[in-house]
Structure 1
Amino acid sequence: MLNEMWWVLMLVLNFVAILFAYRVWGKLGLFIWIPISVIVANIQVTKNVNLFGLEATLGNIVYSTSFLATDILSEMYGPKDSKKAVTIGFFSVIVMTIMMQLAIQFNPAPSDFVQESMETIFGFMPRIAFGSIIAYVISNFHDIWAFELWKKLKPGKKTLWMRNCFSTMVSQLLDSLIFTFIAFFGVYEMSVWWQIVLTTYLLKFIVAVCDTPFMYIARKWFDNNKICEG
């Protein structure tokens, strides 16, 4: 159960980090979190672990928290700012991928000891980044659209959980299917690939449910003018 303990700890730390960034820097803090989440997720996803008896990739938690950030932006500031956050994440993944591809082209010095590890992680990055970019853009824009739809159908603070969960859960399903197909189909045996598909969505589903209380905290801070907007 050690992996599961670390997973829960990582989950809590991610949510706390988002709320801290939002409380201290307001909307800017959420814009800052987006590139952090997508870059860290694209690195962590190269590592496979066993969670709850199934094989899974890391990166699911931190990536899923980007949906909480865009939902907070949609709820408090509107879809325009959410879409801006998505484009920032899109830009950050592209730049990171290009920069690291250039970095591994340099001939290492005799004293270097990280080249092989960098090639292992970032040599596979273009395929991961491509899958991540396609899945990220489609799923996040769907999330923004769905959030606004539920906001119109079920307005008010009491139904905040509904638009937060329902929009994210469907968007996470789209993201999981698109990303795992592009990034990992043919890389692993089919039995492992299906486990990754299942666990990727299952873990993201759990994150979507768990982030609801933090959404309400953000809403309460905003209503009580406790957010520093730079």
Structure 2
Amino acid sequence: MQVLRNFRYYDFLMAGTVAVLLCSNLIGPAKACVVSLPVIGIVTFGAGNLFFPVSYIFGDVMTEVYGYARARRAIWAGFAAMIFATTMSSIILAMPASPTSDYNKVLQPALETVFGNTWRIVVASMLAFWVGDFVNSFVMARMKVWSQGRHLWMRTIGSTICGQSIDSLLFYPVAFFGILDNATLASLMAFNVLFKIGVEVLFTPATYWVVHALKRAEGVDTYDTHTSFSPFSLKDEGESRRID
């Protein structure tokens, strides 16, 4: 039977997801970082990729504890926040700066540099996030039912491989096809997928601890045995099993 209830910590996870998404997509793309790795050599990547994988960890935790339907709500909240932030940035940048302020004369070009992302990057970012996060949550939920709740590490890593691969396969071609050559695009996609999977693997022990702590605190463990996986539904679904 489905249990309809309020949870103590779900809202914090949703807020964390939205915060990570906004920071990764508004602050991160403004800076390209360069690191030197053994064997691979010099690698360039967007600073947002350092923290964006954390949103997938939030998604894994929410799907595992609260179910796909609750994770779906968080994805839509993040998507709506990204649209609002992009709209707000465009409006503020388009407004004329006061010519009487020397500070504004310096600030306006800086804001345009940091927040004036091209429409291709904005569309690519939102599309990749929306599809990638839903794929991640769907795979996580289906693998949980299939594995009968065993092997959490396999579900978190497996869902991340699927979600992050789709994310990179969508983002880079939409944002940079025709700007970067195909070899560079391929290398960027490969590096980012591997990097994000590596972050998931690195945080697996912490994910285990958080998941088990939340299940005990909330007294619930959700299996999506009768859930509609349509991304356009906002119904609370799934079989919530009590944990004493």
CA drift at 1:189: 4.4
- Contact 1:135 1:179 survives alignment (8 Å): yes
Indicate whether 1:77 and 2:66 are aligned.
Answer: yes
> What is the alpha-carbon distance in structure 2 between the residues aligned to residue 223 and residue 171 of structure 1?
24
Structure 1 residues 226, 88: CA separation in 2 closer, same or farther (over 3 Å shift)? Answer: closer
Q: Which residue of 1 is the match for residue 17 of structure 2? A: 34
Residue equivalent to 1:117: 110
Aligned to 1:148: 141
Matches of residues 62-211 of structure 1 in structure 2 within 5 Å? 62-109=51-98, 110-111=101-102, 112=104, 113-156=106-149, 158-211=150-203
| Amino acid paired to 1:45 | P
Change (3 A) 1:61 1:226: farther
Provide the rounded CA distance (Å) in 2 between the counterparts of 1:139 and 1:186.
23
Structure 1 position 59, deviation (Å) = 0.9
2:240 corresponds to which residue?
none
Cα deviations by residue, 1:21-50 (Å, 9 ceiling, x for unpaired): xxxx61111110121111111120232111
State the shift of 1:209 in Å: 1.2
More displaced 10-residue stretch of structure 1: 130-139 or 106-115 = 106-115
Asked if structure 1 preserves the Cα contact closer than 8 Å seen for 2:59 and 2:137, the reply is: yes
Match of 2:49 in 1: 60
Name structure 2 gaps, 5 residues minimum.
1-7, 220-244
- 165-174 or 59-68: bigger deviation: 59-68
Structure in which a larger fraction of residues adopt strand? 2
Say whether the 8 Å CA contact 1:45–1:59 is kept in structure 2: yes
The structure with more radius of gyration: 2
Residue type of the alignment partner of 2:107: V
Which structure has greater helix proportion?
A: 1
Unaligned runs of 5+ in 1: 1-24
Q: State the aligned residue count.
A: 202
Q: Provide Cα deviations, 1:123-180, integer angstroms capped at 9, x if missing partner.
A: 2253222111111111111111101111012123x50111111011111011011011
Report the Cα distance in structure 2 between the residues aligned to 1:194 and 1:117, rounded to whole angstroms.
Answer: 31
- Tell me if the contact between 2:30 and 2:115 (Cα under 8 Å) persists in the aligned partners: no
Q: Is the 8 A contact 2:21 2:52 kept in 1?
A: yes
Deviation of 1:218 (Å): 0.9
TM-score if structure 1 supplies the norm length?
0.81
Amino acid aligned to 1:29? F
TM-score normalised according to structure 2 size: 0.77
Q: Which amino acid aligns with 1:85?
A: A
2:211 pairs, out of 194, 205, 219, with: 219
RMSD: 1.9
